[in-house]
Amino acid sequence: MLGYVLGVGKTRFGPSSHAMPRLAHEAIWAALADSGLAITDIKAFVVANFLGGPNESQLHLNSVVAGLFPGHRIPGWRVEAACASGGVALHQALAMLGTYDPVLVVGVERLSGPPGGVLTHNIGMAGDVGLDQAAGLTFPASYALVAQRHMERYGTTTADFDAVSLKNHHNARMNPLAHFHHKTVTQADIDAGPTVAAPLRLFDCCPVSDGAAAAVISACPRGVRSIAVLGSAVSTDVISLAQRAEHTTFPAASDAAAEAYRQAGVGPGEVDMAEVHDCFTIAELVAIEDLGLAKPGEAAALTQSGATALGGSIPVNASGGLKAGGHAIGATGVGQVYELVRQLRGEAGERQVASPRIGVSHNVGGVGGTCAVHILGRRS
């Protein structure tokens, strides 16, 4: 056993008027309350954040977060791995448990500050600035290349992307903390959406969200509500698409998944649910294949069969995913674990998956440059 999640907390993901410290405070104290611990019990903390510098002119976020608990001086670190910051921070925190226990992990991000063009440029820093950005590849454009190649190689269609979007928007209606909780999305809405980067349209893209998520972890469980971390792996690949031989799969994801499954002693067939990094609808299909939940080229058929819907054999993104749940970049990987913990405890309300025992989270930075995979399990 790598450790246990003792408690989780999360803000709503979506536009917020709150500054990063206030968002982090809300998630941290919710996680502490959930764990039954006080901040004075925490021995160290890790902060996940991507764009505090470019967006908010605020770096040194470990010290910013320390300001939320003055007088309780403990070691703190900031972890940055683009959109995988949260998953990588959790992996780091688990590795620290031999020295510090318990450890608090908090992911926080504010994206709604800068104007659209500036934000698109800043998010582009997750890709290769010299090669990809210089060639005009924004993030949606990079994933559009992945989508085009998947369509060419496997016959995937825009109707398959629509199926992912409709499913995740449907799930978000049952998640009060989701960015698009308030919005019913139909095929007509999708069809009316403008093209962002062909073939990707508005409803293929995740939105721009603010938010925070936190988890308290320990080497020892605290009662039956603790959820075991059975596998935790991170893999890092080259940053530029131009340096990759194939764009329909992310080797960092399949490598991290293989290692996490090995640690957990389970295979993809034993997974009951997955929270995956669907920053664009095509990314969910690639994730399903990289996690081994479907063979290469078969994620679209799995999705169209209804298997990845709530009530299906392998529900994917019961939370609404990034697409409809929101993508507060540095917080996303921790937010995925929040969802798995709530589901594994049977606390997910309307969107509860039927008796899950094993859940997997898949958090990607850049266009497959970094991937963190975690496997969580209910204690029997």
Catalytic residue among 150, 327, 362, 374: 327
- Computed from CA positions of residues 349, 164, 201, 142, in that sequence, does the dihedral angle turn out positive or negative? positive
Q: Which two tokens stand for residue 59?
A: 């770096």
Residue type, 352: Q
* By CB under 6 A, residue 127 contacts ligand COA: no
C-beta of 92: minimal distance to ligand COA in Å?
A: 21
Size of the site for ligand COA (CB under 6 A): 14
Q: Which two tokens stand for residue 135?
A: 């060639």
Stretch that binds ligand COA, among 204-212, 227-235, 254-262, 267-275 (CB under 6 A): 204-212
Q: Which is nearer to ligand COA, 42 or 372 (CB)?
A: 372
Interface characters, 18-57, with ligand COA (x: CB under 6 A):
----------------------------------------
Q: Of the candidates 74, 202, 258, 307, which one interacts with ligand COA according to CB under 6 A?
A: 202
In angstroms, rounded to a whole number, what is the distance separating the alpha carbons of residues 300 and 155?
9
Q: Scan residues 238-267 and list those touching ligand COA (CB under 6 A).
A: none
Q: Which is nearer to ligand COA, 6 or 196 (CB)?
A: 196
Q: Which is nearer to ligand COA, 177 or 341 (CB)?
A: 177
* By CB under 6 A, residue 203 contacts ligand COA: yes
Q: Of the candidates 66, 208, 213, 293, which one interacts with ligand COA according to CB under 6 A?
A: 208
**C-alpha 184, offset from chain centre:** 22
Q: Of the candidates 279, 294, 299, 309, which one interacts with ligand COA according to CB under 6 A?
A: 279
- Computed from CA positions of residues 34, 35, 39, 42, in that sequence, does the dihedral angle turn out positive or negative? negative
Q: What are the CA-CA distances from residue 119 to residues 10, 43, 138, 191, 209 (Å)? A: 23, 35, 11, 26, 12
Concerning whether 60 is annotated as a catalytic residue, the answer is: no
C-beta of 8: minimal distance to ligand COA in Å?
A: 23
In angstroms, rounded to a whole number, what is the distance separating the alpha carbons of residues 328 and 363?
12
Q: Residue 251 — φ and ψ, nearest 5°?
A: -55, -30
Q: Scan residues 137-166 and list those touching ligand COA (CB under 6 A).
A: 139-140
Stretch that binds ligand COA, among 6-14, 32-40, 156-164, 198-206 (CB under 6 A): 198-206
From the list 300, 299, 294, 264, the residue with the least C-alpha distance to 373 is 264
* By CB under 6 A, residue 83 contacts ligand COA: yes
Q: Which two tokens stand for residue 65?
A: 């977060």
Q: Where would I find the beta strands (DSSP E) of 80-210?
A: 103-109, 195-197, 200-201
* By CB under 6 A, residue 206 contacts ligand COA: yes
Q: Of the candidates 71, 116, 223, 269, which one interacts with ligand COA according to CB under 6 A?
A: 116
Residue with tokens 């290769």: 128
**All residues at 6 or more sequence positions from 320 whose CB lies less than 8 Å from its CB, including other chains:** 168, 169, 171, 172, 173, 175, 178, 179, 180, 181, 326
Q: Which is nearer to ligand COA, 83 or 287 (CB)?
A: 83
344 contacts 359 by C-beta, under 8 angstroms: yes
Q: Which residues are catalytic?
A: 83, 327
Residues at the site binding ligand COA, with contacts judged by CB under 6 A: 83, 116, 123, 139-140, 196, 202-203, 205-208, 279, 327
